[in-house]
């Protein structure tokens, strides 16, 4: 017998038939003797309708009232799913965020979960009652509903699993697990059985959007074992867990990519202390995230080129900020290139193995792909290349690291 938290997103509960289907899956876990809590999102489309109504009345609306309106989406689902479970003979009850309560910091529209009181719920679960919990919402110190922001239901589920000390948190989604790379691009991409929190974080943050980054961080912090699996296909998914639990560690777990970056090069920046600060200070003030940064070695000892990446959506704003700061920082010209892609090789194994980076550079070179920027972390090597080589690079690297499915 285990204690399990199951989470179903909006498409999984998109209509009455799908809600019944979810109830069947929950029933199966209950029939296996498990204690179950289910976290659900709003039926797909419902949240959009609610958001649209708010916008129709006022484009800039009170976040507290917005939260009151959109939180109803999950409230409808918990009631309907509870009814569906009861109809199948499974004891169940719904829990709104304020009823549990799931206490947040009260920052409306993007609240963080501070504490979850599961005493009452745990007693009922031990008695065989399924707890059906509204995702994406909690109650703030102001006694008002606060939502966690889009995608927050994953975080709700992981936080609830942590509070309940659950054996596993199963996140049902429209993909059947985490892949070595994007299967739409690399046909030989393989589903991973297990992956570490750290690798999952790198994969998620560089573009493999399966789980909300915040939910993975929370899972890692509280050591919650998270399984990503399909709500439509009946098969095991990918377990996101502690490194200790993975016996056969792969050197490289996956190849990720992100097309959301744009490259900016400032040509002939003075090579003197304080220059980087004078450039990145104004960008930070404008809330523009800078990712990769490379400063070339100065060839004449007086000036250098500075290259960095920003989000593609921020490119125009970043340009403007830099041009406006031109009085304080001098450079010959600004060159911008949105046609780039960041490709990353990820794996906890590279901590203890040399040669991983070298293989990446060699592979790309042998395909004639020029590397524009390189950045590395403990478990990741990222390169910026011309966007047109995305597919070629992914396929070549996937093969080079022996990730191809048999």
**Interface ranges with its own copies (CB under 8 A):** 16, 19-20, 50, 53-54, 56-58, 61-62, 64-69, 71-72, 75-76, 78-80, 82-84, 86-87, 93-94, 96, 98-99, 143-145
Bridge partner list, 92? 130
Q: Which is nearer to its own copies, 40 or 158 (CB)?
A: 40
Contact 182, 175 (CB under 8 A): no
Minimum Å gap between C-beta 23 and its own copies is 9
Q: Which is nearer to its own copies, 39 or 145 (CB)?
A: 145
Distance in angstroms (rounded) separating the CA atoms of residues 90 and 122: 17
DSSP state of 257: E
Other beta carbons less than 10 A from residue 260's beta carbon: 16
Q: Which is nearer to its own copies, 92 or 125 (CB)?
A: 92
Minimum Å gap between C-beta 385 and its own copies is 46
Minimum Å gap between C-beta 81 and its own copies is 9
Burial class (CB in 10 A: 0-12, 13-18, 19+), 391: middle
Q: Report helix angle 275-285 to 315-324, nearest 10.
A: 130
DSSP state of 179: B
Minimum Å gap between C-beta 214 and its own copies is 25
Q: Which is nearer to its own copies, 173 or 231 (CB)?
A: 231
Q: What is the pairing mode between strands 238-241 and 194-196?
A: parallel
Place of tokens 């549990």: 100
Minimum Å gap between C-beta 12 and its own copies is 16
Minimum Å gap between C-beta 164 and its own copies is 19
Minimum Å gap between C-beta 99 and its own copies is 6
Burial class (CB in 10 A: 0-12, 13-18, 19+), 44: middle
Instruction: Cis check for the bond before 328: say yes or no (omega within 30 of 0).
Output: no
Integer CA distances (angstroms), 304 to 202, 205, 269, 270, 295, in order: 31, 30, 5, 6, 7
Q: Which is nearer to its own copies, 111 or 219 (CB)?
A: 111
Q: Which is nearer to its own copies, 68 or 376 (CB)?
A: 68
Q: Which is nearer to its own copies, 89 or 273 (CB)?
A: 89
Q: Which is nearer to its own copies, 99 or 376 (CB)?
A: 99
Kindly state the helix (H) or strand (E) to which residue 85 belongs, with its residue range.
helix 72-87
Contact 121, 159 (CB under 8 A): no
Minimum Å gap between C-beta 155 and its own copies is 22
Q: Is 354 helix (H, G, I), strand (E, B) or coil?
A: coil
């Amino acid at each position: 017998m285990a204690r399990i938290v199951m989470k179903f997103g909006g498409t999984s509960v998109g209509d009455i038939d799908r809600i019944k289907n979810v109830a069947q899956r929950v029933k199966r876990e209950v029939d296996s003797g498990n204690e179950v809590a289910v976290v659900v999102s709003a039926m797909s489309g419902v949240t959009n309708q609610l958001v649209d109504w708010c916008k129709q009345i006022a484009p800039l609306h009170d976040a507290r009232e917005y939260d009151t309106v959109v939180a109803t989406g999950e409230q409808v689902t918990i009631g309907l799913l509870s009814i569906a479970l009861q109809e199948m003979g499974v004891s169940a009850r719904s829990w709104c965020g304020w009823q549990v309560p799931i206490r947040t910091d009260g920052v409306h529209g993007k609240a963080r979960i501070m504490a979850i009181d599961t005493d009452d719920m745990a007693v009922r679960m031990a008695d065989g009652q399924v707890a059906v919990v509204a995702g994406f919402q909690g109650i703030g110190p102001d006694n008002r509903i606060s939502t966690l922001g889009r995608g927050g239901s994953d975080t709700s589920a992981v936080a609830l699993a942590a509070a309940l000390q659950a054996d596993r948190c199963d996140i049902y989604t429209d993909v059947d697990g985490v892949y070595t790379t994007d299967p739409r691009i690399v046909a030989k991409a393989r589903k991973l059985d297990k992956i570490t929190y750290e690798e999952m974080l790198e994969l998620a943050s560089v573009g493999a959007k399966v789980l909300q980054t915040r939910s993975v961080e929370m899972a890692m912090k509280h050591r919650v074992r998270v399984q990503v699996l399909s709500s439509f296909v009946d098969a095991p998914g990918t377990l996101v867990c502690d490194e200790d639990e993975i016996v056969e560690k792969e050197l490289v777990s996956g190849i990720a990519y992100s097309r959301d970056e744009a490259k900016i090069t400032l040509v002939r920046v003075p090579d003197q202390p304080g220059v980087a600060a004078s450039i990145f200070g104004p960008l930070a003030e404008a809330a523009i995230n800078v990712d990769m940064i490379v400063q070339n070695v100065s060839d004449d000892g007086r000036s250098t080129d500075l290259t960095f990446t920003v989000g593609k959506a921020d490119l125009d704003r970043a340009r403007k900020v830099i041009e406006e700061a031109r009085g304080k920082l001098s450079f010959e010209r600004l060159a911008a290139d949105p046609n780039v892609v960041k490709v990353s090789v990820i794996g906890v194994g590279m901590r203890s193995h040399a040669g991983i980076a070298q293989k990446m550079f060699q592979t790309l070179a042998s395909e004639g792909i020029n590397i524009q920027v390189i950045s590395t972390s403990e478990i990741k090597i990222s390169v910026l290349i011309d966007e047109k080589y995305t597919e070629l690079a992914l396929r070549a690297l996937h093969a080079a690291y022996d990730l191809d499915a048999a």
